[in-house]
Each structure stands twice: as C-alpha cells, then as structure tokens.
Amino acid sequence: MTRIVVGVDDSPGGRAALRWAIKEATLRKAALEVVHSWSLPSAEGWNSEWQADEVWYQERARAFLDDVIAECAGAEAGAEAGAELTAVPLECQGPAFGLLDRSEGADLLVVGSRGRGGFAGLLLGSVSTQCVHHATCPVVVVKVPND
C-alpha cells in the first residue's frame, strides 16, 4: 500500500499541507501518517513553570493531532472517502529530523511552505528546506494559501 507522511504544526502551512495530503491519500487510496513532532523544553535551562512529565507532552501532542485531523478531514471529507489516517505524535529534537526519519521508506513526504519560523519573507521554512534537501522520497511543499 502507498504510504504518505505529512508534517503538521499549528500554522496555516501545516493545515494546508494536511488538507492537501488528505486529498492525495484519498486519490491514491494510501495510508496517511499525520506527524506532529515535539520535544521536552530545554533551550535555555529549566523553567519551573514547565511540566516535567513526558506523558503530559505526549498527551498534548496527541490531542493536537486529533483536533487538527478532525478539522482538516472534516473540511475535506477525506476520512469518509477512504483515506486511512494515522496520527503520530513524535518525540524528537527537531521537526525536520523526525519527519526525515519517519518518511524513510514512504512514497511521499508532504510539508507546508512556511510554519512557525520568524522569517516571513522566505518562500520555504527551515523544516521544508531540510526535507527537500535530505528526504529519501519525493517531497511536496504546499504553499500557504493567501487569505
């Protein structure tokens, strides 16, 4: 069976990528893995306000995936048309690394053109750039729609 991996974050680019991937998985009758990466916060030391429980982060990632899949699959009616969706909350030290690992052996990797990065003028975000340069399968970069 064809396997498509899509990376999703809480951005317009992530949602656009998911909607596109749902349509494509439906057309191909493919398995679609919806991946959201997360990591324990540690960039600038430890903050006592942060949760220390890894399970808490896993649950938040799973809840986010459930919500965004329901939102985008409902909008596209992909789940009813035969796309097999699997949510994958993925703990990793960087979203690009997690997506590249997860897409190993996949038929297609889908990412948004811009996510949460600070350089709004860039055509590609850092994650999509990394994926385009290092993926072992074809990559589709979905443009963020202009509203």
Asked if 16 and 110 touch (Cβ cutoff 8 Å), the reply is no
User: What number of residues does the chain have?
Assistant: 147
Least confident window among 22-26, 33-37, 77-81: 77-81
Is residue 46 in some structural domain?
A: no
Task: Count Cα atoms within 13 angstroms, Cβ side, for 93.
Answer: 2
In this prediction the pTM is 0.81
Domain count, the chain: 1
Quick check: is 109 in a domain? Answer: yes
Domain contains 13: yes
What is the CATH classification number for the domain harbouring 23? 3.40.50.620
Question: Has residue 118 been placed in a domain?
Answer: yes
Chain position carrying tokens 């317009």: 12
Output the pLDDT for position 54.
76
Kindly state the tokens that stand for 49. 């306000």
pLDDT tens readout for residues 75-115: 554 444 556 778 887 767 677 888 999 999 999 999 998 75
**Within a domain: 81:** yes
Tell me which residue range forms the domain holding 109. 3-41+51-142
The radius of gyration of the chain's CA atoms, rounded to the nearest angstrom, is 15
* Domain membership flag for residue 76: yes
Strand-pair partners of 142 = 112
In the block, which residue shows the tokens 């009758």?
29
